[in-house]
């Protein structure tokens, strides 16, 4: 495909998570031409074979919408949950190379595509809080640190899984009379579909405390927790405040350790915990705790789907800056608006997502 006598280059960005995977493909002006959804690609949870099947589905759907083949793509960035240790990068690299021989690509932790989706700055922090949670920070001098992303035992906090665990813990204590009464007692039992706490206890014993088989039901505990907190349930409020405080301490500590204690720096917030929670207590507690370490931190909800950040990173690898001017539009004789590449990505990605989900 040609534009102005020159061959158009295309880029691919992927955000692979524990719940879903989104792929974005577009041209070097920043126009998103196709998006595709697939299942989870955190291979630590699914295994590599299933992760690659889901990745192939998402990428294939994006390419199909764009009317392109993978051979058209000049560069790709895969932001993957589960890319935590060198062995993870090796496994993802082998899997992606097998799917797409000859493709020029980079694998990075999903925190970094979230960071690029939320800010134009080259330094700052990012907090991912969806099904799980992770953290990352980049210093003005280029140093970077990524959280381990492995869960509570590894020093992390936040994410739906831990909120569910805390809610169930306090629901049992409310029922057993070993803790304060809370609306979580009724909510947990009702949402999980058990007649009483003895039956729930037996199920958890038989499944080693996991909710894998009924995770869709268990996930509904999270919005119920936020709603109860909004309505004044003290136990639910305490859970959100404790969680937010720990999250703020983690990202604040990472940023301070990289020398950002006394400079303005963006903290990008990514994930459903920030966008769907009806009670602001968790975010408020997180901001307060973070600003004890980094008083000038400025918090920004992500501007676009993190896969758009991966797409921008792929464009950057091709030498296209996000602040570069770009003609956005389809033509048809009208004057084309001048925007930055980043603005074009934000607007055209939103349009494609609406079309995908309609």
pLDDT, residue 213, reads 77
Q: Is the pLDDT of residue 331 over 80?
A: no
Residue 286 has pLDDT above 90, yes or no: yes
Token pair, residue 112, equals: 């970094």
Mind giving me the DSSP string for 173-220?
HHHHTSS---THHHHHHHHHT-SSHHHHHHHHHHTTT--GGGHHHHHT
Domain 2-117+304-357 matching CATH 3.40.228.10: the answer reads no
CATH 3.30.420.40-classified regions of the chain: 2-117+304-357, 120-302
Residue 333 confidence class, pLDDT cut points 50, 70, 90: very low
Q: What is the mean pLDDT of residues 33-54?
A: 95
pLDDT band at 171 (very low <50, low <70, confident <90, very high): very high
- The stretch 78-101 carries a mean pLDDT of 96
Q: Report CA dihedral (333, 335, 341, 343) to the nearest 10 degrees.
A: -110
Q: What is the pLDDT of residue 337?
A: 60
What value does the mean pLDDT of the chain take?
92
pLDDT of residue 216: 84
Pick from 4-18, 80-94, 99-113, 115-129: least confident: 4-18
User: Taking each helix axis from N to C terminus, what angle separates 234-257 and 281-293, rounded to the nearest 10 degrees?
Assistant: 30
Q: How far apart are CA 249 and CA 252, in angstroms?
A: 5
The mean per-residue pLDDT over the stretch 287-315 comes to: 97
pLDDT at res. 200:
95
* Percentage of the chain lying above the pLDDT 70 cut: 95
The pLDDT value given to residue 334: 41
Q: Are 138 and 257 in contact (CB under 8 A)?
A: no
Q: What percent of the chain has pLDDT over 90?
A: 81
The band of 42, judged by pLDDT with boundaries at 50, 70 and 90, is very high
Residue 96: per-residue pLDDT: 98
Domain 120-302, CATH number (from 3.40.640.10, 3.20.20.60, 2.40.128.20, 3.30.420.40): 3.30.420.40
Q: What is the pLDDT, as a whole number, of residue 188? A: 97
pLDDT surpassing 70 at residue 328? no
């Amino acid at each position: 495909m040609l534009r102005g006598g020159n061959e158009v280059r295309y880029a691919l960005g992927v955000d692979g998570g524990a719940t879903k995977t989104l792929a974005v493909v577009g041209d070097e002006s920043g126009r998103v031409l196709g998006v595709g959804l697939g299942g989870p690609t955190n291979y630590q949870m699914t295994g590599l074979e299933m992760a690659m099947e889901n990745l192939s589905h998402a990428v294939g759907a994006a390419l199909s919408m764009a009317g392109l083949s993978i051979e058209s793509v000049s560069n790709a960035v895969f932001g993957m949950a589960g890319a935590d240790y060198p062995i993870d990068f090796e496994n993802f690299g082998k899997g992606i190379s097998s799917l797409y021989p000859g493709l020029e690509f980079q694998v990075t932790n999903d925190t970094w595509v979230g960071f690029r989706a939320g800010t134009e700055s080259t330094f700052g922090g990012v907090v991912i809080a969806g099904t799980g949670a992770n953290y990352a920070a980049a210093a003005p001098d280029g140093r970077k640190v990524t959280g381990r992303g492995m869960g509570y035992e590894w020093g992390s906090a936040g994410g739906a899984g831990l909120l569910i665990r805390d809610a169930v813990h306090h629901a049992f204590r409310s029922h057993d009379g070993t803790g304060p009464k809370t609306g979580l007692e009724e909510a947990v039992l009702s949402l999980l579909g058990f007649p009483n706490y003895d039956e729930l206890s037996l199920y958890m014993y038989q499944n080693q405390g996991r909710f894998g088989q009924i995770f869709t039901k268990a996930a509904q505990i999270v919005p119920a927790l936020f709603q109860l907190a909004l309505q004044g349930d003290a136990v639910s409020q305490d859970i959100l405040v404790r969680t937010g405080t720990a999250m703020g301490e983690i990202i604040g500590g990472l940023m301070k350790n990289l020398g950002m204690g006394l400079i303005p720096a963006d903290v990008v917030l990514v994930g459903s915990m920030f966008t769907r929670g009806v009670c602001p207590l968790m975010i408020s507690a997180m901001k307060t705790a973070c600003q004890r370490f980094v008083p000038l931190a400025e918090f920004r909800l992500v501007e676009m789907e993190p896969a758009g950040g991966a797409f921008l990173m792929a464009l950057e690898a091709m030498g296209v800056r996000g602040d570069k001017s770009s003609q956005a539009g389809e033509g048809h004789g009208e004057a084309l608006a001048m925007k930055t590449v980043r603005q074009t990505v934000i607007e055209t990605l939103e349009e494609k997502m609406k079309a995908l989900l309609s």
